[in-house]
Structure 1
Amino acid sequence: MSEAATPTVTASPGLLASLDPLLREWLPRQRWFAGKGRPVTGFSLVAATELLPSPRLPAPLGQGGAPVSRLGLYHLLVRAHQPLVPAPGAPEQPGDCYQLLIGVREALPPRLAPALIGHVTEGPLAGRTVYDALYDARPAEVLLEALRTRARIGRLRFERETDQEIRTGLVPRLMTAEQSNSSVVYGDTFILKLLRRIVPGVNPDLELPLALARAGCPRVPAPTAWMTADLAGRPWVLGVLQPYVQGATDGWELALRELAKGEDFAAEARALGRATAEVHTALARALPTVTLGHSQLRQLVEGMVERLEAAVQAVPVLRPYAPGLRSAFTALDDLAAEGHTWTAQRVHGDLHLGQCLRSPSGEWSLIDFEGEPARPLAERRMPQPPVRDIAGMLRSFDYAAHSAESPVPGWAETCRAAYCSGYAEVSGRDPRTDPVMLRAYETDKAIYEVVYEARHRPDWLPVPLSAVRRLATAGV
């Protein structure tokens, strides 16, 4: 029986039914909701846990006779049901599972207006207001205290490294930048990343930083604590608490800032290449590696070709370039057939400038090891050639160059060369010496970008399309 069919509930019966009409409107508007473009037709409950009792009595009066709005708090894992295609009568399927932290008040104070989900009209919460509780300090404090004390609440498990201390009294604030998850900063000391799309199994966003920390790699903030759900005998990773790099700037912001000033970014790109190589080297030491021969490469190439064919169906503008793009993949298969082999290892899986932090001292760190959330967890945990991460970063330089209000000729090319040189200084292997593999992974990444932009940001579609045109003719 699936996890969705056997919900774990330590909250009021009928809770999800009372929230259903509000969540159908609110959930698709969230940045981290993956099913955009298809209506939500219902929900099934995976787990519900009451973290703070919801207000059930008339609110007490405070100073001046004003009612004091009491707080209730629910942790929910809900699976959204959506049709396979956005068309009337299309078959439904159980979709992604989402983590929600639902606050309950009699009335919402003005400071929490952006967090509003809606006003409940029926069920156990009738007459109350529900909202995204991560905007509220008290619920965020509840989570940190649970992590500090290694609490067990229903099926929720809060774990902490034994040698790590978490001080009390750290003031929380929600980071409001657009993300595929949600993050809360505690007093400039810690940052808690709450995963929004939840899948059962070992999540690389916890697994890899833990392995790197225990291997002594300083390029990744070490997990201090983490939050899981124990469901159907399998762990579901819900969130990770890590040190907050105060004053850090992410690589995307820094690159755009330098571009706006017309400044050279080559030195930073080289340092970032060195940092990437240090992380890859540490991962290869800490976790198993494998050798990819012809049969393994053929499977990898077949996956790339399948993604290309699906992308051409989804975004017809790709069709004229399909033969050239396919040649990037078949060239790799041909090389493997000649007896070439490659080493595969655990990698970041979704590396780009926004996944890198530069501290005020100039040191680079890599963050967000979740991989591409749209891909299955088993695929995200598979060993891959390190060039997959390198290709992602090279594409990111291209995105930054196209984002500048005043383009700087040759900026992306200079950054790409500097990054590869920095990588070679640490690893001893320059990615440019394996052009067939590099082209294949850059092509696969650009195809992924075309589909993403076509679905979510059509105005950005020309950026990956320009790379598609280049990559389709690179082998000619």
Structure 2
Amino acid sequence: MQHRYLVPLRERENCPERWVVRAGGKALCEAEICGDFIEDVIKSRLEGIRTEVFHHLGDQVDFISTLAEGATNPHAVYRIGVDKVVVKGYREVKSWNPEPLFLKHLSGRGPAPRIYAAYSYGETPLGIFVEFVEGYDPGASIYAAALSRAKGEEYSVPSSAEAVAKALGEFHSLMLDCKDPWCAPSSAGRESIESWIKRIRFYLGIIAAHGVSVASLEKLVDRSLKELKSFEGSTVLRTHQDFHFSQTLVTRENRVVIVDFEGEPARPEWASKDLEPAVRDLATLTRALSYIAFLSIAEVFEGDTSKALQALKRGEAAARRVSEWSAAVTELLAKAYVAGAPRRALPAYSTEEVLRLTLPWFVERALYETMYELEYRREMVEVAINTLEQGLPLLLLLAEHTLG
């Protein structure tokens, strides 16, 4: 898979090594951590770069720090006038990056941060200025609960889990009100379903092309393709695509804020604009528990993923405990989502029915993750496949409560 990147650069003395780019015999600095670049963007002083300002920003620009230094996209915190703002730059050139569009529609409402400005080079988004949100990653506390259960200790499910599911329902309510062509809700027709099926087959084909055995996956795929057809006539909307706990922050006031709207980074571009049922976002959230559950089992075995995989396959005590825990958390998430989600977004109203409808999307997401791991983290490929085959957690829950 080929990637193209567009990186704004500035000359700057004492540029931190992490942000140095060497080009043309010079050591240049990625521009987002250069205050003079930020001033030029705000004041539209850069030829070829267009700036849209949505909320007034002051004149004084003071660099504070960087965030998420392991991420591809740079994140820098500034004090601009009286506002504390995150400048997020985009690196990969894609045919479509929905994040600025999401933020313009949602700005400051519900679980979305305020957007101050967006800048682009031609039709290519280069970056955004958004509200700085002080909070914690709820994925960390949910992982801690999973680890406690894996060790056989007492545990409680953090309240943030339910809060994240409720925030997802609020997000869907706001997206149902979107009238612009990029996001206007519709009804799923045969063309939509055929595109979803094509995407699943595409993922399975990529996995098989890498020499991975897909015999066990094909049964799950066949069932999923049949169940996707039941969505014909249901409401589809612009979903988040990549919703999981660590795409959010929880503030001291227990407000959940979604901090990333770029969508799935490895989704094929021909499928990037697909409208989908709201339950697809719920599926990616429940699927996130698969990784949390597995990594908690691995930590019991001191990080040895091979031993954790064997424990999962054999149904050893730690794996059983975490499987039961993740099934219970899945049910909690589904109940919280169903209680607050707009009825127009749900083709079913009971928790059991919604979980059943989530099943094909759970499988689709797991196949996407397997494809992603093949490109970026090959050591996690077996984890992605086995957590799907062993039912962590959604398949287990369905087998015990709705299919058996």
TM over 0.5: yes
Whether the aligned pair in 1 keeps the contact of 2:142 and 2:158 (CA below 8 Å) is no
Deviations 1:428-454 (A, max 9, x none): 545641455311111111111112223
Match of 1:271 in 2: 163
Q: Whole-Å Cα distance in 1 between the matches of residues 351 and 210 of structure 2?
A: 31
By relative contact order (CA 8 Å, sep 6+), the higher-ranking structure is: 2
Question: 1:261 offset after TM fit, Å?
Answer: 5.4
TM-score by length of 1: 0.68
Counting only pairs closer than 5 Å after superposition, residues 201-350 of structure 1 correspond to structure 2 as 203-213=97-107, 217-230=109-122, 235-246=123-134, 248-260=135-147, 263-265=155-157, 267-287=159-179, 288-317=184-213, 319-333=214-228, 335=230, 341-350=233-242
SS across alignment from 1:197? coil
Q: Whole-Å Cα distance in 1 between the matches of residues 224 and 36 of structure 2?
A: 50
Match of 1:160 in 2: 53
Q: Whole-Å Cα distance in 2 between the matches of residues 164 and 389 of structure 1?
A: 33
Q: Which letter maps to 2:127?
A: G
Whether the aligned pair in 2 keeps the contact of 1:454 and 1:461 (CA below 8 Å) is yes
Note if 1:371 corresponds to 2:295.
Answer: no
Q: Aligned pair in 2 of structure 1 residues 96, 453: CA closer, same or farther (>3 Å)?
A: closer
Counting only pairs closer than 5 Å after superposition, residues 460-475 of structure 1 correspond to structure 2 as 460-470=380-390
Query: Which consecutive residues of structure 2, in runs of 5 or more, have no partner in the other structure?
Result: 150-154, 301-317, 344-348
Deviations 1:297-347 (A, max 9, x none): 233223322322222222513x221331222333225546xxx53210011
Query: Which consecutive residues of structure 1, in runs of 5 or more, have no partner in the other structure?
Result: 1-34, 36-94
Q: Aligned pair in 2 of structure 1 residues 164, 413: CA closer, same or farther (>3 Å)?
A: farther
SS across alignment from 1:298? helix
| Residue of 28, 31, 55 corresponding to 1:130 | 28
Match of 2:309 in 1: none
Note if 1:451 corresponds to 2:371.
Answer: yes
| Residue of 1, 5, 17 corresponding to 1:113 | 17
Deviations 1:223-259 (A, max 9, x none): 11111112xxxx211111110112x112323323444
Q: Whole-Å Cα distance in 2 between the matches of residues 376 and 312 of structure 1?
A: 17
Q: Whole-Å Cα distance in 2 between the matches of residues 321 and 225 of structure 1?
A: 48
Q: Whole-Å Cα distance in 2 between the matches of residues 377 and 295 of structure 1?
A: 17
SS across alignment from 1:448? helix
Q: Whole-Å Cα distance in 2 between the matches of residues 176 and 333 of structure 1?
A: 37
| Aligned length in residues | 356
Q: Aligned pair in 2 of structure 1 residues 355, 167: CA closer, same or farther (>3 Å)?
A: farther
Match of 2:282 in 1: 390
Note if 1:98 corresponds to 2:12.
Answer: no
* Structure index of larger Rg: 1
Whether the aligned pair in 2 keeps the contact of 1:420 and 1:430 (CA below 8 Å) is no
Whether the aligned pair in 2 keeps the contact of 1:432 and 1:438 (CA below 8 Å) is no
Match of 1:87 in 2: none
Match of 1:144 in 2: 38
Q: Whole-Å Cα distance in 2 between the matches of residues 253 and 167 of structure 1?
A: 37
TM-score by length of 2: 0.79
Q: What's the % identity of the aligned pairs?
A: 19
Question: 1:391 offset after TM fit, Å?
Answer: 0.9
Q: Whole-Å Cα distance in 2 between the matches of residues 257 and 470 of structure 1?
A: 22
RMSD value, Cα: 2.8
SS across alignment from 1:165? coil
More helix by share: 2
